[in-house]
Structure 1
Amino acid sequence: MILSAVLLVLLLAIDGLQVAWAEHTSNWAVLVSTSRFWFNYRHLANVLSVYRTVKRLGIPDSQIILMLPDDMACNPRNAFPGTVYSNADRAVDLYGENIEVDYRGYEVTVENFIRLLTDRLDKDVPRSKRLGSDSGSNVLVYMTGHGGDRFLKFQDSEEIGAWDLADAFGQMWEKKRYHELLFMIDTCQANTMYTHLYSSNIIATGSSALDQSSYSHHADNDIGVAVIDRWTYYVLEFLETQVTTPNSKLTLGDLFDSYDETKIHSQPGVRWDLFPGGEREGRLRTVVDFFGNIQNVEVEGNSTESGSLVKDLAEIAKLVDRWRRRDQEHLSTTQNNTNSSPLVLLGNEGRLTYAPQKRIAAATKMTSEDCWSKRLVGALILTGGVAVWVAGSIFGQS
């Protein structure tokens, strides 16, 4: 009897939680400029602009990997030392005081990039330089630099090919290092870089088609070079003017529909076929699913975890008593009925919620004591689950 009750509770819990498992639980961003030298100032400004946007929408530095091969802010040619701007009006300093660069200078290599994605870094590499994503993570990968047909140059000394990138994403999928991935690239012939991708749950977009260049938007005469590329400029214009809050409901379809070839001067591309449901489903993903940090979990500090546990246990006790009274009322009116009864679950926001489930009719007469024993086992399982969750949170943060 006890074994059957345990199995029943677990099966109903799994059924009730399957929707929550389908949603992502964290957001990560990998932002890469692959160009050094002063005349490539715009590539650094591209990636720093995206960096500023994802931070504005809620992704913390601890979940952003920023790779900068050159420090334009401290370049002797910089007329405004310690700053980087993406617009000639110089309204926003992209470098600022709160920038955290994870890979700098000659650390920005093809090898380090692939090792980062596939989690093949040496054991002494600090956590801040690791992509800590998992099967519940939505990952944004943005790259910018000089490229060509199915390759992107790293610092004018090496290249990453389209197959290299495809295999890296393939390993990420096999290792359960992402739930959904958005790949964005701004370079000449950018769209050729995602032609060989084969892994599931990927949406890819680029700035230019085969045999097309990716152009700069404008220059700052005082700085003396172009300060941003066209495609990235208009992507950011949409993000900065339309996606104003982390709760925005604008979708990737809205973003991609905003592409205007007459302004970008090249043909941006989008690839949907690797995403479940294809374009129809992919277009419905919100922009903040990748650029923001909206999650369906609540994280509490150690100081409040014990209080939260007490509240949860008290709530469980109340609900168990409610079940007992409901069963007594039910048994007093009918036997072997198939009315619905509530199964209590810890919902995806960490709060107790009801999930209606169908009661399995008993083959023989069911007493109130039998009902009570089954629900008591379920309560014990839920209590144990809460205790394990709290213990994992405490030791995981220590």
Structure 2
Amino acid sequence: MKLRITTPIPTLLFTLFALLLQLSCVHSQHTSNWAVLVSTSRFWFNYRHLANVLSMYRTVKRLGIPDSQIILMLADDVACNPRNVFPASVFNNADRGLDLYGDNIEVDYRGYEVTVENFIRLLTDRVEPDTPRSKRLLTDDRSNIFVYMTGHGGNEFLKFQDAEEISAFDIADAFEQMWEKKRYHQMLFMIDTCQANTMYSKFYSPNILATGSSKLDQSSYSHHADNDVGVAVIDRYTYYNLEFLENNVKNASSKHTMKDLFDSYDTKKIHSDPGVRTDLFHRNLDEVLITDFFGNVQNVETDGVGEDEKWKVDVSELARLAANITSPKKQQKEIKVEELKGKAEKKISAFKVEEKASWTQGVVGATALVACALAWFGGSFMPK
């Protein structure tokens, strides 16, 4: 029975090329995760903005991103504010079950260091030469970056410490410089402020997934207040993001996707319309793990075979299949030639063995004749 190929050869080649491209994309996944977490507000009544950032800080650390790959920018340190009835502590819930400040926190930019200029210099790596490593974003084209910002904002702007503003154009241009300088692989931009969705409306660089808490002309609202603290302790949008992450993404091996997170948004709970922008991000959200941005990269090898070896084997197999499809007759001829060569080698080997045996037998016979001749010749000199 002969197998008949009805699919056109160009179509099959295109399919194989697509498979090879997919394998190469899998092979070129990101190799590090970074987080840039920014609270832009000062003053005690903005307590919740600090709590927002420290909550995200705790989450990314819980999922494996080390402090060496987190840039934490706090415009104000309410933990040390004299109005704080719980000194050196920051809480994001009225039950005060979790101290976000604690003993294990590394603030990289504090107080008046949190400026628009320093933020843009950080992103674009245009810092002073003597800037310590802890204040630099040491990413490359294999790095995924999670950028989270919170504070007071409006239509296409975000305030920094009530003294200056960063615009949507500023951030868009900074991200484009990062792309040109190969400073990221993929990026997740998340912002919690009034009219937040306008802040990513000007983005034009590839591989950026963006989300915000409210659309144009909408405010973002706090979730609840702590009567003892005296002010609101967290914003609604951040609260429900954290609720999903805490309840579903227990560790870095979680299989929950960004689609799961975005589908969990409920406008009735958030009291505004959160937005998601995906046109610059060329991956299906149901295939993008939350830990691609919130977790750390973990390379695992099974049975001593790494992903590199598996990839090479897959490519070799596809190349062999392509050869069979493009020239099946040639492949059959090559197989027949190989079979004939194998048979010929067997015959030659057998012939050599027989030749060796005949030569050995000849030597033995000649030796016997010489021995007989010597015996006869020696016997002729013996006395009768």
Does the CA-based 8 Å contact 2:23-2:311 persist in structure 1? Answer: no
Amino acid at match of 2:235: D
Give, in whole Å, the separation in 2 of the partners of 1:104 and 1:349.
Answer: 43
**In the superposition, relative to structure 1, how do residues 296 and 350 fare at CA in structure 2: closer, same or farther (>3 Å)?**
farther
| 1:117 is aligned to 2:123 | yes
Q: How does 1:230-379 map to 2 (within 5 A)?
A: 230-277=236-283, 281-296=284-299, 347-348=306-307, 354-355=313-314, 356-357=316-317, 358=319
How far apart, CA to CA, are the structure 1 residues paired with 2:91 and 2:308? 39
One-letter amino acid matched to 2:75: P
1:84 to 84, 90, 96: 90
Is structure 2 residue 196 aligned with structure 1 residue 193?
A: no
CA deviation profile, 1:109-141 (whole Å, cap 9, x unmatched): 000000000111111001111111111111000
Counterpart for residue 154 of structure 2: 148
The size of the alignment, in residue pairs, is 305
**1:42-101 Cα deviation digits (max 9, x unpaired):** 000000000000000000000000000111111000000000000000000000011000
Query: Could you tell me how far apart the structure 2 residues matched to 1:174 and 1:129 are?
Result: 21
Q: State the Cα distance separating 1:218 from its structure 2 match.
A: 0.4
- Deviation of 1:296 after TM superposition, in Å, equals 3.3
SS in 1 for 2:60: helix
Q: Which of 175, 182, 196 pairs up with 2:181?
A: 175
In 2 relative to 1, CA 352–288 (structure 1 residues): closer, same or farther, beyond 3 Å?
A: closer
- Distance in 2, matches of 1:348 and 1:116, equals 34
Give the structure-1-normalised TM-score: 0.72
> In the TM superposition, what is the alpha-carbon distance from 1:354 to its structure 2 partner?
4.1
Residue 16 of structure 1, CA deviation: 11
- Letter of the structure 2 residue corresponding to residue 108 of structure 1: V
CA contact under 8 A between 1:296 and 1:349: conserved in structure 2? no
Q: Which amino acid aligns with 2:297?
A: I
Question: Is residue 25–residue 297 contact of structure 1 (8 Å, CA) maintained in 2?
Answer: no
Report the identity percentage. 70
C-alpha contact (below 8 Å) 1:275/1:282 kept by paired residues = no
SS at match of 1:237: helix
Structure having the higher Rg: 2
Aligned to 2:380: none
Change (3 A) 1:18 1:44: same
- The answer for unaligned runs of 5 or more in structure 2 is 1-19, 324-330, 342-384
Equivalent in 168, 171, 176 of residue 165 of structure 1? 171
Q: Which residue in the other structure is 1:5 paired with? A: none
Q: Tell me how far apart the structure 2 counterparts of residues 260 and 244 of structure 1 sit (CA, whole Å).
A: 22
Q: Residue 132 of structure 2 corresponds to which residue in structure 1? A: 126
Deviation at 1:348, TM superposition (A): 4.0
Measured after TM superposition, the shift of residue 213 of structure 1 is: 0.5
Counterpart amino acid of residue 287 in structure 1: I
Say if 2:27 and 2:308, in contact at 8 Å, map to a contact too.
no
Secondary structure of 1:31's aligned partner = strand
Q: Deviations over 1:179-220 (max 9, x none)?
A: 110000000000000000000001100000101000000000
1:33/1:47 contact within 8 Å kept: yes
How far apart, CA to CA, are the structure 1 residues paired with 2:109 and 2:181? 23
The whole-number CA distance in structure 1 between the counterparts of 2:252 and 2:56 is 15
Shift of 1:22: 2.7
Residue type of the partner of 1:291?
F
Q: Which residue of 2 aligns with 1:8?
A: none
The structural deviation recorded for 1:349 is 6.9
Aligned to 1:229: 235
Q: In 2, distance between residues paired with 1:139 and 1:17?
A: 23
Match of 2:215 in 1: 209
Unaligned stretches of 5+ residues in structure 1 = 1-13, 299-311, 313-345, 368-398
Work out the CA distance in 2 between the residues paired with 1:217 and 1:352.
48
For the 8 Å contact 1:297–1:350, the answer to whether it is kept is no
Instruction: State the partner residue of 1:27.
Output: 33
* Counterparts in 2 of 1:17 and 1:98: CA distance versus 1, 3 Å: same
- Normalising by structure 2, we get a TM-score of 0.75
Aligned residue type for 1:153: K
Distance 2:39 2:286 in 1: 27
Q: How does 1:8-47 map to 2 (within 5 A)?
A: 18-47=24-53
Contact 1:20 1:348 in 2 (8 A): no
